[in-house]
């Protein structure tokens, strides 16, 4: 007699098979292919592939461009996520406190998040344009000497950061608002009866009870900011030394310079960094969540 | 002087009146239970006393002082919530100490520790002090919530169905403990519930609240024996009071299908709702026949559900009484045990 497990095995394979095949085709194969090509001199067009050993990796670690993009991306993630978190949480707090026309305000605030980053890039290109942009027209109207937002070497990185903050602060706000609304009113009432100071209520109740959900939002935003690509592409293009991020550098190396082997090595290094970062972060969030679940 | 006095308190939420002209006074050591069904306005009443709601009309007086518009913090009273509402992610000790850290209470660290110990000992939660609040069982959480109320020695306790979320056994245990605790603390309590057992066993006085109105105030015994309305009669006691529609036919009450129920006074109304307690139903000597539909064994007594003259009647009899399903009986209720509400 066959056991149930044996009889249902074909069905199980039939159900899991397609997904497995897709995973192998689109995740496992590219990963393996990428790792393999990182040890070759592969080019985008033509040419015989030849093993070059660890030469590509040696180049990655010596490459000024890579170091610069890494530093820039780290700075971008740090600044963007911090600003978005602070602004979004502040907005959520004031919205929750009750603002006249709350629904309308919410809708308006959510618009930037729902538009495509490429469109946003083009839009801000118009707004911040050095000659005819709205911002500079207003500034010169007021008698200021308007800066070149998108072409000044020292400024364009921060302009892109500004656009990102403008786009994603509403996302943080939305999640923070959900977190705030999940705190039962009776806990605040208990604190009120216990004569707690507002600051104490904020630090002892609001903040710890919101922390897990805020942590999750930070994780989302950090992974997203880490692969910042579209805004940079739309505003300055992939080959601008002042704004190059890891993703645009990768694009430049593989699709403009055609160095597939080198690009593959780049992406392997980035992959390791991202995995390390994600592991640390999810551990942290796990801890937050086990600590501050509703009593 | 009374600890609490409500004078003509009314509160509406939109078109819905939650409280209508509520008057209530609570003595300085009194344990008052506000009894009413869900949606009667019990919680609104407590929240109004606590200062979490401001009444539309009327006055809230605490120890002689008008507090109608003062903040919850200024009233120095404690409220225990039905859902416990402990501070999350904090230990039991931190939860208990929290109210003592409030501004204007300036207690030395040693004194705070002593008070927390004292409350924990009183509620038998000493061994839980260093546990995080979220790791407690329901009963333990409720003890901590009560502990948080007693540490600061408030002038008045407000309890919003504090036992409702607990299981039956624990509920009975805590009922006795908390009644004793209130006596020892010599602090008045306003306890809100829909559970008739809590009202009967704990209260010095019961306030029956229906649809935002105080319908009756009295000792548990008074409300049990002489409920002012059929609604109060049904809310108190388990199984509740029997309520039967009857018509008077000369000197006899007749049940819905015409069977005789028992003797009626000559000045009684033509149509009435008769109320009588299950324990006052005898199973023999009556004027008409009834059919036993269900027999429920409840330990010391049995509840017999009768189909009698087109009405359903509960009788509570001693366990020793022999009675079986489908048996035909002639039940009777003495006239002095019948309450009559004219229809």
pLDDT, one tens digit per residue, over B229-252 is: 999 999 998 889 999 999 999 899
CB contact under 8 A, B85 and A208: no
CB contact under 8 A, A189 and B141: no
Q: What CATH architecture applies to the domain A41-291?
A: Orthogonal Bundle (1.10)
Question: Looking at CA atoms only, how far is residue B137 from chain A in angstroms?
Answer: 10
Chain centroid offset of residue A240 CA = 20
Preferred mutation among B47, B51, B98 to probe A, highest tally of A CBs within 10 A? B98
From B83, B90, B102, residue closest to A196, measured CB to CB: B102
% of chain A with per-residue pLDDT over 70? 97
Q: What residue segments make up the domains of chain A, in order of their start?
A: 41-291
Work out the average pLDDT over B128-140.
88
Contacts of B73 in chain A (CB under 8 A): 192-193, 195
From B79, B84, B88, residue closest to A193, measured CB to CB: B79
Q: Which pLDDT does position A291 carry in this prediction? A: 59
pLDDT, one tens digit per residue, over B282-294 is: 999 988 999 999 9
Q: Which residue in chain B has the smallest CA separation from A289?
A: B89
Q: Which residue in chain A has the smallest CA separation from B104?
A: A195
CB contact under 8 A, B73 and A193: yes
pLDDT, one tens digit per residue, over B204-229 is: 999 999 999 999 999 999 999 999 99
Has residue A293 got a pLDDT over 50? no
Question: Looking at CA atoms only, how far is residue A84 from chain B in angstroms?
Answer: 26
CB A188 within 8 A of CB A100: no
CB A109 within 8 A of CB A91: yes
Question: Looking at CA atoms only, how far is residue B83 from chain A in angstroms?
Answer: 8
Question: Looking at CA atoms only, how far is residue A274 from chain B in angstroms?
Answer: 31
Question: Looking at CA atoms only, how far is residue B136 from chain A in angstroms?
Answer: 8
pTM value?
Answer: 0.75
CB contact under 8 A, A295 and B104: no
Q: CA dist A66 to A58, A78, A226, B187, B241, Å? A: 12, 18, 14, 73, 85
The more confident residue out of A51 and A1 is A51
CB contact under 8 A, B148 and A192: no
Name A12's Cβ contacts closer than 8 Å, sequence gap at least 6. Answer: none
Burial of A177 (0-12, 13-18, 19+ CB in 10 A): buried
Tell me whether the CATH fold assigned to B4-230 matches the one assigned to B242-342. no
Q: Which pLDDT does position B158 carry in this prediction? A: 95
What tokens appear for A63 in the block? 């490459």
Distance, in Å, from the CA atom of B65 to the CA atom of A137, rounded to the nearest integer, reads: 64
Has residue A278 got a pLDDT over 70? yes
B4-230 maps to which CATH number? 3.40.50.300
Work out the average pLDDT over B13-19.
90
Has residue A152 got a pLDDT over 90? no
B242-342 maps to which CATH number? 2.40.50.140
List all residues of chain B from 37 to 56 with a beta carbon under 8 Å from chain A. 50-52
CB contact under 8 A, B141 and A295: yes
CB contact under 8 A, A292 and B84: no
Q: Which residue in chain A has the smallest CA separation from B136?
A: A295
Question: Looking at CA atoms only, how far is residue B74 from chain A in angstroms?
Answer: 8
Q: What residue segments make up the domains of chain B, in order of their start?
A: 4-230, 242-342
pLDDT, one tens digit per residue, over B287-323 is: 899 999 999 998 888 999 999 999 999 999 998 888 9
CB contact under 8 A, B103 and A192: no
Burial per residue of B312-332, b for 16 or more beta-carbon CB atoms within 10 angstroms, e otherwise: ebbbbbeeeeeeeeeeebebb
Q: Is the dihedral of CA B117, B120, B126, B131 positive or negative?
A: negative
Burial per residue of B171-205, b for 16 or more beta-carbon CB atoms within 10 angstroms, e otherwise: beebbeebbebbeeeebbbbbbbbbbbbbbebbbb
pLDDT, one tens digit per residue, over A209-253 is: 898 889 888 988 988 898 888 889 888 888 888 899 999 999 999
Q: Is the dihedral of CA A116, A122, A123, A128 positive or negative?
A: positive
């Amino acid at each position: 007699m066959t056991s149930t497990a044996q009889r249902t095995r074909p069905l199980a394979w039939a159900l899991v098979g397609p997904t497995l095949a897709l995973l192998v085709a689109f995740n496992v194969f590219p990963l393996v292919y990428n790792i393999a090509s990182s040890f070759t001199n592969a080019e985008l067009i033509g040419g015989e592939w030849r093993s070059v050993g660890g030469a590509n990796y040696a180049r990655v670690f010596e490459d000024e461009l890579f170091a610069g993009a890494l530093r820039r991306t780290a700075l971008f993630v740090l600044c963007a996520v911090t600003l978005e978190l602070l602004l979004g949480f502040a907005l959520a707090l004031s919205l929750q406190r009750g603002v006249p026309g709350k629904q309308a305000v919410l809708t308006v605030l959510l618009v930037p998040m729902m538009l495509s980053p490429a469109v946003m890039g083009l839009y801000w290109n118009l707004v911040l344009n050095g000659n005819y942009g709205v911002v500079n027209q207003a500034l010169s109207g007021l008698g200021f000497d308007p800066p070149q937002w998108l072409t000044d070497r020292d400024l364009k990185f921060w302009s892109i950061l500004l656009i990102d903050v403008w786009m994603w602060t509403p996302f943080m706000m939305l999640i923070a608002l959900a977190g705030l609304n999940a705190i039962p009113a009776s806990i605040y009432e208990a604190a009120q009866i216990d004569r707690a100071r507002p600051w104490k209520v904020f630090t002892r109740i609001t903040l710890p009870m919101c922390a897990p959900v805020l942590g999750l939002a930070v994780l989302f935003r950090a992974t997203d900011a880490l692969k910042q690509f579209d805004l940079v592409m739309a505003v300055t293009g992939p080959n601008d030394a002042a704004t190059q991020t890891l993703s645009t550098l990768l694009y430049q190396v593989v699709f403009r310079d055609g160095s597939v082997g080198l690009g593959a090595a780049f992406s392997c290094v980035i992959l390791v960094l991202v995995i390390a970062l994600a592991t640390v972060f999810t551990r942290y969030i796990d801890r937050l969540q086990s600590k501050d679940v509703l009593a | 002087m009374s600890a609490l006095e409500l004078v003509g308190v009314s509160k509406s939420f939109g078109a819905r009146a939650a409280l209508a002209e509520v008057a209530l006074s609570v003595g300085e050591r009194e344990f008052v239970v506000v009894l009413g069904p869900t949606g009667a306005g019990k919680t609104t009443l407590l929240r109004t006393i606590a200062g979490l709601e401001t009444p539309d009309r009327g006055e809230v007086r605490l120890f002689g002082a008008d507090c109608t518009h003062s903040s919850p913090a200024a009233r120095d009273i404690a409220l225990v919530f039905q859902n416990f509402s402990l501070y999350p992610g904090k230990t039991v000790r931190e939860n208990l100490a929290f109210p003592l850290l409030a501004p204007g209470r300036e207690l030395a660290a040693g004194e705070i520790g002593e008070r927390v110990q004292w409350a924990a000992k009183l509620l038998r939660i000493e061994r839980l002090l260093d546990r995080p609040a979220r790791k407690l069982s329901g009963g333990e959480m409720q003890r901590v919530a009560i502990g948080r109320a007693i540490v600061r020695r408030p002038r008045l306790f407000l309890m919003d169905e504090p036992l409702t979320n607990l299981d039956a056994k624990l509920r009975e245990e805590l009922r006795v403990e908390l009644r004793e605790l209130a006596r020892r603390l010599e602090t008045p309590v306003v306890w809100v519930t829909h559970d008739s057992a809590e009202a009967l066993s704990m209260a010095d006085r019961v306030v029956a609240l229906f649809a935002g109105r105080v319908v009756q105030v009295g000792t548990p015994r008074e409300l049990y024996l002489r409920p002012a309305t059929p609604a109060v009669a049904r809310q108190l006691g388990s199984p509740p009071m029997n309520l039967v529609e009857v018509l008077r036919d000369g000197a006899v009450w007749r049940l819905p299908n015409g069977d005789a129920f028992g003797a009626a006074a000559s000045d009684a109304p033509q149509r009435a709702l008769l109320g009588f307690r299950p324990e006052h139903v005898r199973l023999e000597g009556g004027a008409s026949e009834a059919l036993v539909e269900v027999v429920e064994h409840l330990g010391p007594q049995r509840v017999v559900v009768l189909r009698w003259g087109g009405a359903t009647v509960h009788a509570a009899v001693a366990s020793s009484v022999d009675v079986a399903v489908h048996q035909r009986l002639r039940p009777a209720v003495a006239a002095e045990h019948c309450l009559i509400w004219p229809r």
